Structure 1
């Protein structure tokens, strides 16, 4: 008598399934990433540190007995500066990111146009179409 062995093999490998899940999580995390938040934090830190340096320069002339009061005032200035400049730093970071993205899009469009024109120089059909478009614009 002949017996056949039926082996049920899974359609997906467990390691591949885990890797696909990790890649999908990374994609969703990247979509939710906002670069303005990090830039705003960096700008806020720069603003607050400059305010703290100025406050430290003003308090360095005090005598040794007022050092604890000076530290309390310095930390008070730090927290007030963080509260006051958080919105400003965020909006500045947003504007910087929007400007950098627009600039990147303009550079990419210029690069694509340059590649297209370089290709058009070697293809007479595209060059003829460009010449027709140019003559129509001149006529209009």
Structure 2
């Protein structure tokens, strides 16, 4: 009796896959126009680090006045480098600040949603309003699915808005439109 053994072997070596991913990332970086400035900044930092090593070996034999003059020159060089690359630093700090701001807004929205749901669980009137809003949304979605696609202007407006309002914001808007 003959039996066959089928062993599933990968068609591509895992090292080749990792290399392809690495080369793809290099190509993405190369396609971006701002990468050369970042490489120049990295080179500047490397030169500064090597200069610090050389200076450390030389400073051990210097007098205090020479060390002071070297520190003044180094600080002048550092401030010149900061002035030269101020736009890169400003853009980086702006991105970091935007990430922190967005995460703070997300946390605040999550806290507001948690407070609203806790209120809805303890107050039957709020729960009834929430269920009515959900059923209205579901019925609106069913009506929209049965009709023709929305106009391009409406789609552009929705894409500009970008974010779906939180549950708290949606209920606040609903209640504000009802009572005022």
Task: Normalising by structure 1, report the TM-score.
Answer: 0.49
Higher relative CO (CA 8 A, sep ≥ 6), structure 1 or 2? 1
